[in-house]
Amino acid sequence: MTLQSWGGAIARRAFTRRWQRVVALVGTVAVAAAVTGLFALRAEAAGVQHVVNGNFSNGSTAPWWSTGNVSMGVVNGELCAQIPARAPGGNPWDAIIGQNDIVLTAGEELTFSFKATASTDVVIRALVGMNHAPFDAFIAENPTVTTTPQTFSFSYTQAVDEPVGQIAFQVGTSSDTPWTLCLDDVSLASGTAPPVYVPDTGPRVRVNQVAYLPNGPKNATVVTEATAAMAWELRNAANAVVASGMTTPRGDDATSGENVHSIDFSGYTAAGTGFTLVADGETSHPFDIGGAAYEKLRLDALKFYYTQRSGVEILDSLRPGYGRPAGHVQVAPNTGDISVPCQPGVCDYTLNVSGGWYDAGDHGKYVVNGGISVYQLMSEFERTKNARTAKAATLGDNTLAIPESGNGVPDILDEARFEMQFLMSMQVPAGKPFAGMAHHKIHDENWTGLPLLPNFDPQKRELHPPSTAATLNLAATAAQCARLFAPYDHAFANRCLAAARTAWAAALANPAKYAPVSDGTGGGPYDDDYVVDEFYWAAAELYITTGEKKFSDYVLASPEHSVDVFRADGFDWKWTAALGRLDLATVPNNLPGRAAVRASVISGAQKYLDAISAHPYGLPYAPASGRFDWGSNNLILNNMVVLASAYDISGNVAFRNGVLQGINYIFGRNALNQSYVTGYGEVNSHNQHSRWYSHQLDPTLPNPPVGTLSGGPNSSIQDPKAQQKLQGCAPQFCYLDDIESWSTNELTINWNAPLAWVTAFVADQGNGATPPPATCRVSYSKVGLPFGLFVAALTVTNTGTSTVNGWTTTWAFTGDQAVVLPVNARTTQSGATVDATNLAGNARIRPRQSVAFGFLGSTALANPSPELFRLNGSACG
């Protein structure tokens, strides 16, 4: 057998493809019925024992086998094996004890059990799977074996017929020193139904386990059999009752299958820690009232990206416990990303595509997923220029503790630049077929197993064919990059804009080159055969950056421009029209009919606000199918991005409150009573699917960093671990915090991006109080001159009741605009942000009076008027 192939047994391979074919044939709604039909075909009688010589009573180990580096024999009636220390970069399947020739029948109810002891505490991998390619595992468990004898038992239902099955104990990475494993009473017996999996959901009062803002909405959910309103109490850390009231019965919740009540304790506004809610005899998990947690999470969610970097050493000094050597830099055993060939027959060149972020818990890098991820990081920064409540200093230089900190560029842009450089490196060189397009992805030739640090990955790396979707992702993000980096690095901004223009032209020339769904070996396919939305997004970004009419004409003529692009399911890497619409609405530009664009965002947000009101758990997510999709948490957060943008546009506090209610679901106000962000909340996800954050499999490796989002409930439960436990699950219950459950518990760069965006928005709301009315107004007008120059005139009016004695007016340009010569004010400029300060003779502005000043400016990009001004730090109307 091929030991390396055992790694694939725990990955996505043939079982997933068969499952997807079943779904395609019978439809997702009928999958459970189809599986039940398969179960009815079971052929073996109950009580069949599949293991030969499982108690070793004859003094022999036959027919058990082991890899050549393991010696075994019978000692005191047990199989005892001498296991070597793990090798650097080793894999669990480097050392195996197994038994072959096990016949398994679809529908068979099986219990896999064994007694085990070890000379030192270790985690082993116990599997039932195939003894042939693709070496799928039907059950894979990771018990901790100690010096005290323990019996382990795992029940499951066999999903497919398997005439050549195998039991295996993978122990290649269990210990840094040689050790001994003893096994006895190994059994794989049919006839016992697997126990029904019942998650531990804790107290029936479900709250945001992290924090509520003092003056914001505060809502919770109670799971109960009661139909009449019940009393609730809010208690502080000293267990004193500080507020009380009655619940609101909500009836049955279709997404959880539960009868629930709602609690609204918004009237309590005192900050503090250690609060609990009590209702129906249950006490909730503790929570805070205050904003400190969101200030921390706005940075933690972004710090995640540094440890996802490819091609560079991750410094333990910057991320204690997460340091690791550079991965995929052509240092053995890596083949590396410095000179990567295409798949056979795709191209005749190699590219240096080192760098960028690993997409998820595997070693692949994908342009379409990287595109929306880096877009949202840049969008989070761009919001600080244009949103009244945004706090730009929180995302400035020296905020993320990355190697680039201290270089004068906001750290969030430095992190985005690391990915943008990778995206541009994926562009097909001039003179080659499909020149200017972007290769869809780069990853290993075959799937690898877990755990596997990037620097130990031995697989061949390959470029996959260019696609129109990837090319337009590059065009959109590179255009966005050009305007945001222009104030900091003109050369890099020009490089971004050139790449965007080249990609746009290449996409127009190749408008229907699609990534196929079949290209899913070694990495996800990210297939997409509808790219009208990507064209719309790319044209929007190019127009905002350049102001050129050909791009505004394309936007206005696009079918996406005249329809509602805000899906009930949420936008994501495959549905990108919303990205263009949001930027056209929130980033200053001169698009004709822009008022209607802004109105469409408000209309889309209203749908999500209505969903929150209708949902007993306050969820801004109501897919028409009633089923939760893969990565549902990211879709929910993206809907909150729309709500937040509507607030930024309109100032309507209802949209802001929608975000503050929706975030509760992510942090524990859900059916599982689970926070989906590592390190946040008393019960939080920390076993996300990852090859290097694999503490569940290898105690020497860490859990994911604090601030890592799990994908969350997924009704399709595509992985064997979820299928084993979650058949028939209500949508909110289709989740396992298990490293093997890659369909419900993955981590990805495009899921942490909206988490960072939304938590920054929440942190910006301070204590949740409604912002006070503006006490100033600024008018801005400009006249264009030759040679990229322009003259701007500003009038600042005091609309308050107190005299302003000394003033500074602040605004941010969209791109490379620069003040060349101020008139009637002193100016300083940092990046795109300008501070204009009074002169000695115009420092005082009495109520209802104004002061005027202006400047000569220069620009080579679009030059829309700024839309947000601040007077002495306070936003003007």
300 pLDDT higher than 90: yes
pLDDT digits over 611-626, tens only?
A: 999 999 999 999 999 9
Catalytic status, residue 737: yes
Residues 6+ apart with CB under 8 A from 799: 774, 775, 776, 777, 847, 848, 877
Rounded Cα gap, residues 548 and 803, in angstroms: 43
Catalytic position from the list 288, 397, 746, 764: 746
Catalytic position from the list 362, 397, 528, 740: 362
39 pLDDT higher than 50: no
Count Cβ atoms within 10 A of the Cβ of residue 231 and give its class: 0-12 exposed, 13-18 middle, 19 or more buried. Answer: exposed
Count Cβ atoms within 10 A of the Cβ of residue 792 and give its class: 0-12 exposed, 13-18 middle, 19 or more buried. Answer: buried
Worst-scoring range by mean pLDDT, 16-20, 307-311, 595-599, 843-847?
A: 16-20
Phi, psi of 235 (to 5 degrees): -120, 145
* Cβ atoms < 10 Å from Cβ of 518: 9
pLDDT band at 29 (very low <50, low <70, confident <90, very high): very low
873 pLDDT higher than 80: yes
Catalytic status, residue 362: yes
Residue 28: per-residue pLDDT: 31
Strand-pairing partners, residue 625, are none
pLDDT band at 112 (very low <50, low <70, confident <90, very high): very high
What's the chain's average pLDDT?
A: 93
Residue listed under structure tokens 């999903």: 159
695 pLDDT higher than 60: yes
**Domains in the chain, CATH or no CATH each:** 5-190 (2.60.120.260), 205-292 (2.60.40.10), 307-550 (1.50.10.10), 776-875 (2.60.40.290)
Spell out the long-range contacts of 869-872 with Cβ–Cβ below 8 A and sequence spacing 24 or more: 869/776, 869/778, 869/780, 869/796, 869/809, 869/810, 869/811, 870/809, 870/810, 870/811, 871/775, 871/776, 871/778, 871/796, 871/804, 871/807, 871/808, 871/809, 871/810, 872/804, 872/806, 872/807, 872/808
Question: Once rounded to an integer, what is the mean pLDDT over residues 739-756?
Answer: 97
16 pLDDT higher than 70: no
Residue 7: per-residue pLDDT: 35
**Contact at 8 Å (CB) between 735 and 716?**
no
Q: What percent of the chain has pLDDT over 90?
A: 88
| H or E, element range at 151 | strand 150-157
Q: What is the pTM of this model?
A: 0.87
Residue 135: per-residue pLDDT: 81
Of 610, 602, 676, 675, residue with least CA distance to 643: 602
Catalytic position from the list 737, 738, 764, 816: 737
- Which pair of tokens denotes residue 513? 């080159």
Do the strands 287-289 and 211-212 form a parallel or antiparallel pair, or are they unpaired?
parallel
pLDDT digits over 154-193, tens only?
A: 999 998 899 989 999 999 999 999 999 999 999 999 886 7
Give exposure, 641-663, as e/b (b: 16+ Cβ within 10 Å): bbbbbbbbbbeebbbbbbbbbbb
SS3 content of the chain, % helix, strand, coil (to 5): 30, 25, 45
Q: What is the largest CA-CA distance in the chain?
A: 104
Catalytic position from the list 689, 738, 764, 816: 689
The SS3 of residue 740 is coil
792 pLDDT higher than 90: yes
**Contact at 8 Å (CB) between 191 and 110?**
no
Residue 521: per-residue pLDDT: 93
The SS3 of residue 165 is strand
* Cβ atoms < 10 Å from Cβ of 760: 26
pLDDT digits over 250-286, tens only?
A: 999 999 999 999 999 999 999 999 999 999 999 999 9
pLDDT digits over 637-660, tens only?
A: 999 999 999 999 999 999 999 999
Residues 6+ apart with CB under 8 A from 722: 714, 734, 736, 741, 743, 744
